[in-house]
Amino acid sequence: MNGSRASTEDHGTGSATRTCPFVFRPVRESDLAALTDLVGRIADGLTSLPEHPDFLEKKIHESLRSFYPKITTPGPERYLFVLEDTATGKVVGTSGLIARVGGFDPFYTYEIRTEHQVYPPLGIDARTRVLHLKKSHKGPSEISSLFLHPDHRRTGWGKTLSLARFLFMRQRPERFEDTVIAELRGYIGPDGKSPFWEAVGSPFFRKDYYTADILSGLGEKAFIEALMPRHPVYVCLLPEAARSVIGLVHPETLAARRLLEREGFRTTNEVDIFDAGPLLKAEVRTLRTVRAARTAVVNVGQPPHPDLPRNGIVANTALDFRAVAARLPEDDRPEVVLTPDEADLLGVVTGDTVTYALFRPTG
């Protein structure tokens, strides 16, 4: 749930001689060592990708199985993608998709409800926020596991890492629910602690925030059901430090939140049970990238304006999904010009069909 700060500038570190420095693709078995090294650089950890080689290997195999071609309905599939630096072969970013949350492992959130308390004789008319534990077994799809190496932020490739997933969902609607959510990391203080966890979780779990969060990321969910408070939590009874961070995001997640909100995600009345980070939701068909996406025929050559910034994403239409940032036409055209490098990374040739979307709407 880490955010990636990005612009439309193109400064791929170490890839200046390539016309296309990075490619977005499904994770491979051979990526294990690079993936382990990458997640080890994540400040405060990433629940869905803890720094645990055996677990990461399991996640890779889980993703490989998810691309089975005969899947026709969303189930337990968990797709993991990486952003590869084509000059070095290193993995510099990750992002993921969960076909449907819940299933065998319940999906927990705190639902924020408002209780209206009225007593006219004393002139009392108050509304109180209350946290109710919510457990889902057949939830929506979810985007997850977003992280971009710090050396490659502010390069424009963070947009590709995040938004390319929506092109995959558009191409394979049968594999996903109609609704998609995003759980964003909650606020963590300068001391490395979660104020919400210290007030709500720690007294019951008797473990630090990161231990509980990583256990959940490893799929150990039984402890949540056994130890979470069984009664609603009245927000007014919490210390101010905990109350004030409900629905706030981690400082490094602000850019990711803004990007998702521009796509059409909206805040819900649910938050994470550990750090009270917000849960955003959208209908897949209404996402900006999904609505703006077009199909076109490939023409391999040199773009007419090679010095312009890469202004959008282009993807192949194969189940072995690939996407790159490219220089795309601002208007709706039946043809997209790709450099030989870009075409090679996508696995396409002149005459093939691709899907593309601009980073920003035109007009």
Q: Taking the model in full, what pTM does it have? A: 0.88
Over 50: is that where the pLDDT of 1 sits?
A: no
State the SS3 of the chain. Answer: CCCCCCCCCCCCCCCCCCCCCEEEEECCHHHHHHHHHHHCCCCCCCCCCCCCHHHHHHHHHHHHHHCCCCCCCCCCCEEEEEEEECCCCCEEEEEEEECCCEEEEEEEEEEEEEEEEEEHHHCEEEEEEEEEEEEEEECCEEEEEEEECHHHCCCCHHHHHHHHHHHHHHHCHHHCCCEEEEECCECCCCCCCCHHHHHHHHHHHCCCHHHHHHHHHCCCCHHHHHHCCCCCEEHHHCCHHHHCCCCCECHHHHHHHHHHHHHCCEEEEEECCCCCCEEEEEEHHHCHHHHHCEEEEEEECCCCCCCCCCCEEEECCCCCCCEEEECCCCCCCCEEEECHHHHHHHCCCCCCEEEEEECCCCC
Per-residue pLDDT tens digits for 207-250: 777 777 766 665 666 777 777 888 899 999 999 999 999 999 98
The predicted structure's pLDDT at residue 50: 74
Q: What is the mean pLDDT of residues 275-282?
A: 96
Q: Which residues are catalytic?
A: 250
Q: Which domains does the chain have, with CATH numbers?
A: 22-166+173-291 (3.40.630.30)
Out of 189-203, 259-273, 283-297, pick the least confident.
189-203
Instruction: Express each pLDDT in 22-76 by its tens digit.
Output: 999 999 999 999 999 998 877 555 566 777 788 899 999 999 999 999 999 999 9
Check residue 158 and give its pLDDT. 87
Greater confidence, 108 or 65? 65
